[in-house]
Amino acid sequence: MKSLTDQLAQYASYHRDRRNIATHFVGIPMIVLALAVLLSRPQWSQGPHLNLAALSLAASPALVLFGCAAIYYIALDVALGLVMAIVSVVCLVVGAYLAQASVVIWAGSGAALFIVGWVFQFVGHVAYEHRKPAFADDLIGLIIGPLFVLAEIAFGLGWRSTLRDSVERQASALRENHHTRHQPI
């Protein structure tokens, strides 16, 4: 398994323009929340439930996806992984709440979040980065994106400066290597 630095650097090498990163701060949370909403509706009522205070989260594709992602994030980095687990629980709570609404509200809110989130993503890549998204070359980019946003927030707050510096060095080298390989002869 690649290290946290390797994963973040690979993703960051596709995200060097600050405006593109800013679009990701909006688009990725929207997409993540959309997945929680849309995947919370099909529930397995006979399966296990996660009880949080007064809310019971039934087993659903959302619970499975977010649970597996949280385990992966924690395996990469305990501190960031635990924060991502908390974010996941919040998304699952919102998703479970909207899954109880009418089909129009559930599907409409989930689809709107998903579509608008991807519009932000593609605007960032087309208008600012001028490079395809990371997941186009490696599907793991789909799961690293939310962790990248969290790491960028941490870096912006002055936390994890050693990690930030390592990611920046490695991302710059990866980006330079990509440009060198794709130069016309």
Per-residue pLDDT reduced to its tens digit, 26-68? 999 999 999 999 999 876 665 555 555 445 567 889 999 999 9
CB 57 within 8 A of CB 47: no
pLDDT above 90 covers a percentage of the chain that reads: 64
The per-residue pLDDT for 183 is 46
H/E stretch holding 45: strand 44-52
pLDDT interval class at 185 (50, 70, 90): very low
Q: Which of 183, 169, 178, 167 is nearest to 11 (CA)?
A: 167
Enter the pTM of the model: 0.86
